[in-house]
Amino acid sequence: MPVPVVELLRRAVALVPEDARSDAGRGPDDVGDHLDHNEWEAALDLLLDFDGLTWQTVEYWDLLIAAAEEMRLDDDARWCHWRRFEARSGLVRAELQLVPAEVGGRRIPIPGTGVLRPMWNLDPDSDGRTELHIAALWVETASALQPGGHGTVRLLPLTPERWRHLAPGDRITMHEARPVAGTATIVQVLPPPS
């Protein structure tokens, strides 16, 4: 028998530190208020809005995945799955500038929801010794990144240990074929929570 949505969300809110705040300044007590009024989707939205890779564990995301799937909120479930992987392998965020289509860049938008898994050169100044690493790409602020566009992205490496040396300010290049498809500047790297 499946666990009721309200129970999944109550278990998740129990994992939120008391001092955690959403982007709107709301805390875990506010989630409890939504649950008390059977506002499950609002409660889930608020739980998704908390920032804090240091405390957001795989267990936390498993609870939110189960709740989102039970409520048939497919986009939220996809995001929760992504965040679950980040909780396990760490966070890599970057500002990505795509090469314009007229000079050889891609001609169609990059879907924003982590379906593209391009290759990345983590050391573009490597004197021709190019070792490429695969990482899925999630566009943070839009449903897609247009050809030649710019945006903040989250990267989910296939081999996270090869990315641990990166720091804010480092530049990496994106490849979908031989030429460079985009250049990214790392803005944040966090290890997985211990």
pLDDT tens digit sequence for 58-87 = 999 999 999 999 999 999 999 999 999 999
Q: State the average pLDDT for the chain.
A: 92
38: exposed, middle or buried (Cβ count in 10 Å: 0-12, 13-18, 19+): exposed
Q: Which two tokens stand for residue 162?
A: 């090869």
CATH number 2.90.10.10 is the correct assignment for the domain at 91-190? no
List the chain domain ranges.
Answer: 5-89, 91-190
Q: Looking at this protein, which amino acid is placed at residue 125?
A: D
The contacts of residue 110 (CB under 8 Å, 6+ apart) are 98, 116, 137, 139, 144, 145
Task: Report the 3 state secondary structure along 30-55.
Answer: HHHHHHHCCCHHHHHHHHHHECCCCC
Q: What pTM, to 2 d.p., does this model score? A: 0.89
Tell me how far apart the alpha carbons of residues 139 and 79 are, in angstroms, rounded to a whole number: 11
Q: CA dist 165 to 5, 65, 168, Å?
A: 40, 30, 10
User: Do the Cβ atoms of 46 and 30 come closer than 8 Å?
Assistant: yes
Q: Looking at this protein, which amino acid is placed at residue 105?
A: G
pLDDT tens digit sequence for 80-128 = 999 999 999 999 999 999 999 999 889 999 999 999 999 999 987 766 5
